[in-house]
Amino acid sequence: MISLEFLIASAIGVLTAGGVYLALRGRTFQVVLGLTLLSYAVNLFLFAIGRLVIDRPPLFAKGLTDHADPLPQALVLTAIVITFGMTALVVILSLRSFLESGSDQVDGIADPADEGSAS
């Protein structure tokens, strides 16, 4: 049987690999998706290192020694908000770049293969 740790580690690895692959692509939409996948991988990693404890209070309770650590959960919540803002900014910048240059290439130079198919 596959352990939960292996499943989470595999998910983090797949998200990271997909994010790096897409972030290195030449089109802006793929770069935005790659950065988003990387942020999902980081969020999952932060959540996994928090050692989620079930049926325990998030803070210290009198006489209870086993508690959930609220810091990773707070970090993930903050990272989600920051990721949303970063993604919105990158989408607006890529849209502005597309409108200015007429190309969705990261370097702003139109692909010769795309020019022939546009007509």
Please name each of the domains of the chain with its CATH number.
Answer: 4-106 (1.10.287)
Q: Which tokens is 57 given?
A: 């209070």
* Tokens standing for residue 90: 């990158």
Provide CB contacts within 8 A for 2, sequence distance 6+. Answer: none
| pLDDT tens profile 42-59 | 999 988 887 766 677 666
pLDDT at 39: 93
Q: Please determine, for residue 119, whether its predicted confidence score (pLDDT) is greater than 50.
A: no
Furthest-apart CA pair in the chain: how many Å? 74
pTM comes to 0.76
